Structure 1
Amino acid sequence: MTTQSDDRSPNAPSHASGGRLRATFVGVAAVTCVAIAAGFLAFVSHLPGAETKPDRHADGIVVLTGGSSRVSDAMELLAAGYGKRLLISGVHPTSAAADISRSLQESQALFNCCVDLDHSAVNTRSNAAETRRWVHERGFTSLIVVTSNYHMPRAIVELSHALPDISLIPFAVVGDKWRDEPWWLSGGALRLLLSEYVKYLAAVARVRLAHLGIDLTFDIPEPPASSPSPRRPATAQVN
């Protein structure tokens, strides 16, 4: 008499185990995607949509170049007495002081007396390092930080890490494109924000690891700026 083969083969447990593993992987991937998406939306929702003057004055002002109108806004703050001196950090190596001052004709006297240029910084992390050197040389204890609204979170992370004993007052510059069109309707704006969010997460991770004594020196490359414009100081790297 023939017997029916047993459906429970030796491979059945391994198939079941593989199925559970795949389900776990898919579940973890789904949760990770949702967390990243939620984090991105939270990141964007906290970006200022309008420029607001600082609520107090500071010893100095630093502007991290790379976006339109950052330098002119920083000069306006300096002219209004919000700080004693201004550091323009990330000036392109080929841009001289005369090149920049020509683009700021209405503030040329102020530029000549109270503005310092940093040609060394090539990204946000080195902006923070050069700002630390400048602040300590000047003996400042408070600083107004000027940069674009989308770049401000990462700038504050880097500057807070480099200058834990300095009071930082953000002044976020809001570009015309940001005001004119919702970011979710602009492919360019969406790509910029996604890129900045990734860089922000990388900066937060590196700084937190540094607090634990783990020094990671990685930096996500930032694309080089275009050639210097006669109307705007260029940077070595776009922030």
Structure 2
Amino acid sequence: MFSGLVRWIGFLTITAGLVAALLLTGGFFWFVWQIKTEEVSLDRNASGIVVLTGAPARIPDAIELLAADRGKRLLITGVHHDTRAAEIAHLMPLYSKYFTCCVDLDRSALNTFGNAIETKRWAVEHNFNSLIIVTSNWHMPRAMAEMEHQMPQTTLIPFPVVSEKIKANPWWSNGETMRLFISEYLKYLFAHVRMRIDPDTT
């Protein structure tokens, strides 16, 4: 009887492990399916624009949206504490005038969770009820999850920035891209677990 119980427990353990592996694998492909591989065209404007620092193309794309009057102001969140607006403006001379009127820098955020908190504070300060969120395509699912958690009443419009490397090669054919997607998927899952444990917004 005891040996039968051990076999039954072993069977349940293996079955649970297989089910968990299938769910994780299926979830990963669903996650990858969400990632845009082509640039998107916005069909509406917003009160403000928010760009999360990281990949080089994010800030230029966000500035171009601001110049096109897609939003009234731009928040660059996650800026290094030593970086000044003039230094960023110097890299984009065609758009330097916007840095004196319509661009705000957040130096407090250290991660995506912090980006969402600082974005909420900025949106409340300016009474913005809709935001365009600019970040890399692979980072967008987690960024949107964090933003939606902090600002459930705010309309959030994703604007994913797609790198040329991801455009040129399918993710499954590039080891570096595959590792990036897997890492981001695990961070995405962790973020959702954290939000379930602590459901209250900050």
State the TM-score, normalizing by the size of structure 1: 0.81
Aligned-partner Cα distance in 2 for 1:109–1:14? 78
Measured on the aligned residues, the alpha-carbon RMSD in Å equals: 1.5
Return the match for 1:101 from 66, 80, 89: 89
In structure 2, stretches of 5+ residues that fail to align are none
Does residue 50 of structure 2 align to residue 62 of structure 1?
Answer: yes
Task: Tell me if structure 1 keeps the 8 A contact 2:134–2:161.
Answer: yes
Alpha-carbon deviation of 1:23? 1.4
- The 5 A counterparts of 1:179-194 are 179-194=167-182
Q: For residues 45-94 of structure 1, what are the alpha-carbon distances to aligned partners after superposition, in whole Å with 9 as ceiling and x for unaligned?
A: 12111111221101100001111300000011001110000000000112
Structure 1 spans left out of the alignment, 5+ residues: 1-12, 218-239
Deviation for aligned residue 1:164: 1.5
Q: CA deviation at 1:209?
A: 3.1
Superposition deviation, residue 111 in structure 1: 2.1
Q: Distance in 2 between matches of 1:59 and 1:24?
A: 53
Distance (whole Å) between structure 2 residues aligned to residue 40 and residue 146 of structure 1: 22
Number of the residue aligned with 2:29: 41
Which protein, 1 or 2, shows the higher relative CO under an 8 Å CA cutoff with sep ≥ 6? Answer: 1
How far apart in 1 are the matches of 2:128 and 2:5? 62
Deviation at 1:18, TM superposition (A): 1.2
Deviation at 1:210, TM superposition (A): 3.0
Using the TM superposition, give the Cα deviation of residue 113 of structure 1 relative to its aligned residue in structure 2, in angstroms. 1.5
Contact kept in structure 2, 1:64 and 1:70, CA below 8 Å:
yes
Match of 1:50 in 2: 38
Distance 1:122 1:108 in 2: 26
Question: Please, which of 109, 115, 126 is the counterpart of residue 114 of structure 2?
Answer: 126
2:163 aligned with 1:175, yes or no?
yes
Aligned pairs for 1:79-158 (under 5 A) are 79-158=67-146
Which AA in structure 1 matches 2:87? Answer: D
Number of residue pairs matched by the alignment: 202
Higher helix share: 2
Secondary structure at the counterpart of residue 40 of structure 2: coil
TM-score (norm. length: structure 2): 0.95
Aligned sequence identity (%):
46
Larger Rg, first or second structure (1 or 2): 1
**Counterpart residue identity of residue 70, structure 1:** R
Distance 2:46 2:29 in 1: 32
* C-alpha separation in 2, matches of 1:77 and 1:98: 19
8 Å CA contact 1:132, 1:163 repeated in 2: yes
Query: Partners in 1 of 2:154 and 2:16 — Cα distance?
Result: 40
